Each structure stands twice: as C-alpha cells, then as structure tokens.
Amino acid sequence: MAQDDSGSVELTETSSTAVEHAVEAERLGDPGTAIILEDAPVNPGFPTHRPRLTDTHPEQSRRAERTIFTLFYLSIAGSVWAIAAYLAFPIESGDMGDIRLSTLFIGLGMVLALLGIGIGAVHWGKQLMVDHEGIDIRHPVRGTDDTRERAIEIFEEANEESGFGRRTLIRNSLIGALIAFPLPAVVLFRGLAPQNQDPVKDLKHTMWAKGVRLTKDPTGIPIKASDVTIGSVFHVIPEGLNDKEDMLNQKAMAAVLLMRLKPEELHVSPERKDWNYHGIVAYSKICTHVGCPVALYEQQTHHLLCPCHQSQFDITHEARVIFGPAGRPLPQLPITVDDEGYLVARSDFHEPVGPSFWERNS
C-alpha cells in the first residue's frame, strides 16, 4: 500500500531526525539553557602582575605602615576632639555664637574621625595587603564541609597576608578608631534631651488658659465665632504667642486646629458637653504618634490626617484614632466665646499634647 509505504517512510525519517537531535542535545548539554556562541569572547587571562614598591622595598612597607596607623590615631583624635568641642561649646544657652562654634568644631572632629578610618583602610588595602590576582569559581551558596574548611583556610590566609594578626600596631589602632568613632554620637544625643526640665510637666502645660483668645496662625488676629463657617478649618495659635521669647517652643505645644461642624454631627461625651461652641471644636495639632503636625482636614468625612504615618482622627468622635499608629485621640481644647464674640479657651488642655509616650509617663 503506497499510502502505507509512504507513511512508513515518513515515520522512519521523523524518528531518525529526533534521534539525531537528542544525540546533538546531549552533546551540547541542556538545550533549554545551553547557549553556543560562535564568537564567544576569549578569556584574556590575568594582566601581568606588577609588584608594588612596598612589595620590593621593606623601607617603603614600613613607611606605609606608619602612615596607616597614624591615620587611625588621627581618627581617634578626631573623635576625642568632637567630644571636647561638645563640652567646650555648650548649646544649651541658645547663644547663636556657641551653636555655630559647636557645630563647626564637632563637625571638624567627626570629619577627621571618618576620614582617618576611611583613608587608613584604603591605604592599608592598597599598599600592604597582598594584591595578587585570584580566581574564585562560582558555586552553590551553601558549601560542603570541605568548602567550609577551605573557607577557614582562606580566612587564615587572608589574616596572614593582610597582617591583621601580625601588625598589631595597625590592628589595635584600627580597633581603637572604630570604638572611638561612635562615641561622639552617644554624647551628642544628650543634647537632644530637654535641659534640666521635666518634659512631662512641660508638655502638660501650654500657653492656653482660661480666657486666652484663639488667633490665626501666623498673624495672631483673634477669631470671632461668626468667622468660622461650617466646613472651614483654621490653624490657630494662642493670643500673645508671637511676643514670646521662646515662641517656637510654645507654638510646638500650643498649635491647634479649629473646625466647625453641624452640632448634630458631633458625638460628645457628657464631660465634654461644653467644650465646643455651636459645633466649633479645637484640637491639638500635634500628632499623638510622634508629634508631626496633623494638617490635613477632610471636610466631607471630618477626618484629620497626619501626613507622617497616615494616622487618621475622627473629629465627630472626639478625634479618636480610626487608622494608623497613633495611640490615643488628639487632645481637645475646651473653648467658648468672650463678651465680644471672640473664641477663647476655657482652660488649658486636660492632658499632655504630643506623642503618647509622655502620656504614659505622666
């Protein structure tokens, strides 16, 4: 049967081709990953090794060694210098001259400390550590026991070749420099703490007090209740803030956001019944998470948003936290109006403003 014959011949040719492909694939490796390039680049090998002066001249080697440990000692001196500058130019007085000198000399000390370690380490690597070329064949990350033993050998070789164990002056000066370098940072952190003050007490009391008018930030213009329309929001500071010597510190504690909602939208607890004035409410602007200004008001939902870590506060429910990392509601400032219709505080806040940390320690 011609048709059968024809089919049989066709089948035989196909099988033969498949076998040839399989043999070829086995010869070349996995056909899915093998890449055969006719113009594959030729490995040029290592360039000719050129010994350095420190390899051939022992006096140059000693000179490099002296340079390196001098740099590490300079780094230690820089760290000590930074600490001494911190003590010599205290910034607590707030005097701008002292602050400038403190910044300048601490900065110089830290630059010296960092450059000493950096340049010394580079110099050590370039001048004294063995610089012969080597090949490191790629292998699976988790090595066999043999590989691990070899790693230890390599480590020991590196130790031997770099002279880390042998060149004790360099090694010890580097260790000293690395230990000394973070010390200025530890000392400098002290400057971040309030000086001779109890932060809990400080944050518990702000400029707000009975009868202090709410004024616009930054102009200090008093706000009449009739100026505050439903849906509006005001950035508020206490009257007289702009005349204070420590205006910024006071503002950081007393900044307030003022909003007006329909009175029926507010869910007010009995003890806060008279803390709002016809739907006008005032809340601390300092986020109870880590103290960023809560500056975004969503008029439709009456949510306040802190842009730092997205904490959200629901103004209709006494600024309770509805989203984000803040640990407690924004403190509310009790308000009313005076005889002339200006908004005034009924008292200071009833709890510390700012991060909940202070609340826990009160």
Residues that bind ligand FES (CB under 6 A): 287, 289-292, 306, 308-309, 311, 324-326
CB of residue 215 to ligand FES, shortest distance in Å: 25
Q: Could you tell me the smallest distance in angstroms from the CB atom of residue 242 to ligand FES?
A: 26
Whole-number Å distance between alpha carbons of 98 and 105: 10
CB of 268 to ligand FES, least distance (A): 24
Task: Kindly state the tokens that stand for 165.
Answer: 């164990």
Q: Please say which residue, 204 or 289, places its beta carbon nearer to ligand FES.
A: 289
Task: Evaluate whether 259 touches 297 at the Cβ level (below 8 Å).
Answer: yes
Toward ligand FES, which CB reaches closer, 252 or 290? 290
∠ CA 127-53-135, nearest 5°, is 60
State in angstroms the smallest separation of the CB of 281 from ligand FES. 19
Closest by Cα among 183, 178, 177 to 84? 183
Write out the DSSP string of 330-358.
Answer: PPEEPEEE-TTSBEEESSS-SS--S-HHH
Cβ closer to ligand FES: 155 or 323?
Answer: 323
239 vs 318 by CB, closer to ligand FES: 318
Residue 353 CB, nearest approach to ligand FES (Å)? 13
Cβ neighbours of residue 253 under 8 Å, at least 6 residues apart?
202, 203, 206, 207, 286, 353, 354
Asked if 340 and 199 touch (Cβ cutoff 8 Å), the reply is: no
Shortest separation between residue 288's beta carbon and ligand FES, angstroms: 8
CB of 287 to ligand FES, least distance (A): 3
**Residue 260 identity:** R
User: In whole angstroms, how close is the CB of 329 to ligand FES at the nearest point?
Assistant: 13
Residue placing its CB nearer to ligand FES in the complex, 52 or 303: 303
Q: Which of 280, 247, 254, 257 is nearest to 354 (CA)?
A: 254
| Short-list 205, 202, 241, 201, CA closest to 221 | 241
247 or 290, CB closer to ligand FES?
290
Nearer to ligand FES, 199 or 220 (CB): 199
Considering the complex, state which of residue 120 and residue 354 has its C-beta at the smaller distance from ligand FES. Answer: 354
- Shortest approach of ligand FES to residue 350 CB, angstroms? 21
- Given the complex with ligand FES, which of 106 and 326 has the nearer CB atom? 326
Residue 237, classed as helix, strand or coil, is strand
What secondary structure does DSSP assign to 245-297, as a single string? TTHHHHHHHH-EEEEE--GGG----GGGTTSSBTTEEEEESB-TTT--B--EE
**Rounded alpha-carbon distances, angstroms, from residue 262 to 85, 159, 315, 318:** 58, 76, 12, 14
Chain length of the chain: 362
Beta strands in 69-220 (DSSP E): 214-216
